[in-house]
Structure 1
């Protein structure tokens, strides 16, 4: 068991980036964790951390061990829950990684209801649009939009995102409504500047069944989808946004869809979890809740979902 305790000390320190933060999480003393990690390094004959006075960073050997021990510790946790008879009851801390707007608007209400139904369940939600390493950061599940590359994750599609090109009625009255794609260059555009790369996201459209990308002449560049919607509502130009962000404004007539017959194919929305033989109850009920959400939204492709590698 001493070796297991050393792995726990190492893994928590790797996740938190310091012995002090890991000690607060584990209810221990920083010196106790530092000694446990030092003993682990001695027993393995490798250096696991680069240490400074304020933080620690994984070495190459530490990175490899961390990836492996995360899976081992997850298995141990599941075995303990199963042996104690609590595996079937959702409990503990559910760590979730969600896209900012879709997570806040669509998913948080679902997860909130989940916590209300299961009093022993706790929720830790991280909202951002960049991809995180689930295993390294100790994330139980993440929701990702778009095609998924092969990895050591298991994915289950539960919904889809449709991109909609739209503008305010006022803008269209002043500048006219484009009826062909080649007329778009005559219009002002509100475009998305991707925070991770700084690049401008092109518009995707599918005229006559062939998807193309257009880089419009941007009048306004914004790194936040809700800000883009607000700019479009103010009449600053055409913009392309996910349907869930503009559905209410479209329904109320405050925005109007442009070139609806050239909508691009919908992007899949998937829940991904680390690959494991035993899925903890807290994760299982969350995945089931998201799949139920997708069915309620009428995505017929979800009638017989199956797990696949992400």
Structure 2
């Protein structure tokens, strides 16, 4: 068995947490995968997995090895496939991480279009608002909103997110419409509960060229953007949400925007990928489709 195959078996078992599942992915048998990994452990002189009767998990040494080899192995797989002439068209599984609402409303229709164009392509979509480690989780790409923190990733802007403050007509009829930023202090607020800290996400506004940050006391705190929109429609208070999340409600009049002149600067929405000189056809095809979002903003 080649050295590359040993590392492929190791990486797939690390991703799946199971020798049996790794074997199915690789078109092999569980015993072959287990023997391959045992040989690798013997050659390296370290234990890579904690084993139980049903699952396996990485040891500290296994975790370090996985982080170092994951992207290299992905490139080797792509080179092998290209050399065999099987990558002329996008194929295989595209693994992508998306923010929940933006992913569901904006990106998923484009990915559906991508699959219709390329019948040999499959999707593994992760919808979450947390932070995904692309290398550790074996992801091809992720969509992230706002300033980027990880300088090791390749980023490509595909869209903008504009925050708006909205309220129901009934709420404004009962409590008045705010005309200045200072007016917000006397209004009920529906805020987003940050998953990392449990605190409310501050409101972002702009006074002329100056950015303004407010920390309203929430009447209702919600850990889901669409839940915040529902709360605003019910008249529970003012909510600040991305414009794409509330477009239907604004069009129907179920909510109205307040203080539009004080919208904050829009935040970039980026497609990020691990740094690599290779771009598999499945990734290039996805970039081409998502570039439509950027062209829409031009």
What TM-score bracket applies, with the shorter chain setting the length? over 0.9
Q: Which residue of 1 aligns with 2:167?
A: 167
Q: Which residue of 1 aligns with 2:218?
A: 218
Kindly report which structure 2 residues correspond to 1:77-96, keeping only aligned pairs within 5 A, or say none.
Answer: 77-96=77-96
Of 65-74 and 93-102, more deviation after overlay is shown by: 65-74
Deviation, 1:136, is 1.3
Give, in whole Å, the separation in 2 of the partners of 1:151 and 1:70.
18
Q: Which residue of 2 aligns with 1:259?
A: 259
Deviation, 1:204, is 0.8
Deviation, 1:184, is 1.0
Q: Which residue of 2 aligns with 1:308?
A: none
Q: Are 2:92 and 1:101 aligned? A: no
Q: Which residue of 1 aligns with 2:235?
A: 235
TM-score scaled by length of structure 2: 0.95
Q: Are 2:198 and 1:204 aligned? A: no
The unaligned stretches of length 5 or more in structure 1 are 301-310
Measured against aligned partners, the alpha-carbon deviations of 1:37-69 in whole angstroms (never above 9, x if no partner) come to: 111011011222233444333233222221222
Measured against aligned partners, the alpha-carbon deviations of 1:73-111 in whole angstroms (never above 9, x if no partner) come to: 212122122212333311111111111000000000000
Could you say if the C-alpha distance between residues 83 and 28 of structure 1 is closer, same or farther in structure 2, counting changes exceeding 3 Å?
closer
Q: Which residue of 2 aligns with 1:307?
A: none
Give, in whole Å, the separation in 2 of the partners of 1:196 and 1:242.
20
Kindly report which structure 2 residues correspond to 1:25-104, keeping only aligned pairs within 5 A, or say none.
Answer: 25-104=25-104
Aligned length: 298
Q: Are 2:286 and 1:286 aligned? A: yes
Q: Which residue of 1 aligns with 2:177?
A: 177
Q: Which residue of 1 aligns with 2:153?
A: 153
Measured against aligned partners, the alpha-carbon deviations of 1:125-178 in whole angstroms (never above 9, x if no partner) come to: 110011111111111111111110233221101101000011011100000001
Deviation, 1:246, is 0.9
Give, in whole Å, the separation in 2 of the partners of 1:199 and 1:32.
49
Measured against aligned partners, the alpha-carbon deviations of 1:212-260 in whole angstroms (never above 9, x if no partner) come to: 2211121111111111101101111000000101112112222111111
TM-score scaled by length of structure 1: 0.92
Give, in whole Å, the separation in 2 of the partners of 1:287 and 1:197.
33
Deviation, 1:265, is 0.9
Any idea what SS the aligned residue of 2:135 has? helix
Any idea what SS the aligned residue of 2:277 has? coil
Q: Are 2:12 and 1:6 aligned? A: no
Measured against aligned partners, the alpha-carbon deviations of 1:183-232 in whole angstroms (never above 9, x if no partner) come to: 21211111111223322111111112211221112111111111110110
Q: Which residue of 2 aligns with 1:22?
A: 22
The unaligned stretches of length 5 or more in structure 2 are none
Query: Cα RMSD over matched residues?
Result: 1.5
Give, in whole Å, the separation in 2 of the partners of 1:34 and 1:95.
25
Could you say if the C-alpha distance between residues 84 and 28 of structure 1 is closer, same or farther in structure 2, counting changes exceeding 3 Å?
closer
Deviation, 1:293, is 2.2
Deviation, 1:7, is 0.6
Give, in whole Å, the separation in 2 of the partners of 1:285 and 1:293.
14
Q: Which residue of 2 aligns with 1:194?
A: 194
